[in-house]
Amino acid sequence: MNELLIIADPQLMAERTAWLASLANERRLSEHTLDAYECDTRQFLTFLTGHLAGPATLKDIHALRPADFRAFLAARRKEGSGARSLGRNLAGLRSLLRYLEKKGLVNAAGASAVRSPKQPKSLPKPLSDRQAITVVSEEAQLHEEPWIAARDAAVFALLYGCGLRISEALDLKPDDFSRGATTLRITGKGNKTRLVPLLAVVFEAVEKYRALCPYHLESQEPLFRGARGGKLQQAIIQRTMQKMRSAFGLPDTATPHALRHSFATHLLAGGGDLRTIQELLGHASLSTTQVYTGVDSSRLLEVYDRAHPRA
């Protein structure tokens, strides 16, 4: 690790070196994390040299206020750092200051009072049309037991064909599928109810599973069962998708939730409007749907221009 030169006084430099050594020897942090923390604190002390018009001392560190840390984050943002980098910068500084505070050398309250930058929402990438169709087809299922293969295909079909959350699919009851049904009534987050179209191909996948399932499916009991007859657990479907990633060369981002994401993205690409997709997904706000589908501002305006009667 590179030592600081004239951007901190010798005592502060020595304490920083001791802190890094404690992270390596006592907390056993990885070399990558240690390098990141070294870089973060070096950048901060370099900033303080200009901010304080001279090399920082422990007394200077003790006197820092939340505004000083915000000024550092603002300077880093101006240099092009994103929210993730800024969050890591602040985490490294807080770790150093807590170390110094435990030794009675500084007060770490200033850094603790600064909120970490809001991190961007991380969403799974959608599968391609071909990849999604492969996952939901019964022929692609890997389990040797026919009824379990049909079960997995039916669950995946509900995620991709109806845009359900995995928890919503596994909470379905046999009574939710009346003969000739063309819609499903789904109870989602916040106990909110919505109607989603039930495609014939999805209905047929569910019916194929019901015909093969060896357990008696009471009308108000869970529709999807595990191998021993209990309610099917999310972890089983997640592991099944993991095996399919390996078998079919799917990306690591191919998860059960990615099928719901694919449902929304493919609808939008096919000309669906955001407001309808919002209703189908059960999102409380349109902004959530905009982020979820990855639509940019120009696409959003295009949708409104096409749909609004005064456009």
DSSP string, 178-215: -TT--EEEEE-GGG-EEEEE--HHHHHHHHHHHHH-SS
Hey, what are 306's tokens? 């096409």
Catalytic residues: 165, 189, 257, 260, 283, 292
H-assigned helices in 52-82: 58-63, 66-78
In angstroms, the CA 44 to CA 261 distance is: 39
The residue among 53, 83, 112 that closes a domain is 112
Task: Report pLDDT for 274.
Answer: 74
Residues 159 and 210 in one domain: yes
Task: Report pLDDT for 3.
Answer: 46
187-212: b (≥16 Cβ within 10 Å) or e: ebeeeeebebebeeebbebbebbbee
Residues 87 and 157 in one domain: no
Q: Collapsing DSSP states into helix, strand and coil, what is residue 31? A: helix
Whether residue 123 lies inside any domain: the answer is no
What's the total number of domains in the chain?
2
Which domain covers residue 240, as residue numbers? 129-307
Whether residue 265 lies inside any domain: the answer is yes
Residues 107 and 250 in one domain: no
Residues 96 and 194 in one domain: no
Residues 33 and 154 in one domain: no
Q: Helices (H) and strands (E) in the chain — how many of each?
A: 15, 2
Q: How many CB atoms lie within 10 A of CB 171?
A: 17
Task: Report pLDDT for 301.
Answer: 63
Asked whether 256 and 237 are in contact (CB, 8 A), the reply is yes
Mark residue 53 as left, alpha or beta (left: phi above 0; alpha: psi -120 to 50; beta: remaining): left
> Which residue from 74, 88, 100, 75 is spatially nearest to 18, judged by alpha carbons?
100
pTM of the full structure:
0.59
In angstroms, the CA 183 to CA 179 distance is: 11
pLDDT in tens, 63-102: 888 898 889 889 888 888 888 788 888 888 889 989 999 9
Residues 33 and 150 in one domain: no
Whether residue 119 lies inside any domain: the answer is no
Residues 82 and 207 in one domain: no
Residues 136 and 269 in one domain: yes
Residues 219 and 278 in one domain: yes
The residue among 86, 112, 138 that closes a domain is 112
The residue among 64, 84, 112 that closes a domain is 112
In angstroms, the CA 253 to CA 255 distance is: 6
Residues 104 and 18 in one domain: yes
Whether residue 4 lies inside any domain: the answer is no
pLDDT in tens, 7-46: 778 899 999 999 999 988 888 877 888 888 899 899 999 9
> Which residue from 43, 66, 70 is spatially nearest to 56, judged by alpha carbons?
43
Q: Which residue has the higher pLDDT, 3 or 89?
A: 89
In angstroms, the CA 168 to CA 183 distance is: 14
Q: Looking at residue 47, which CATH number applies to its domain?
A: 1.10.150.130
Hey, what are 299's tokens? 């696409």
Whether residue 121 lies inside any domain: the answer is no
Residues 143 and 23 in one domain: no
Residues 56 and 140 in one domain: no
Please count the residues of the chain.
311
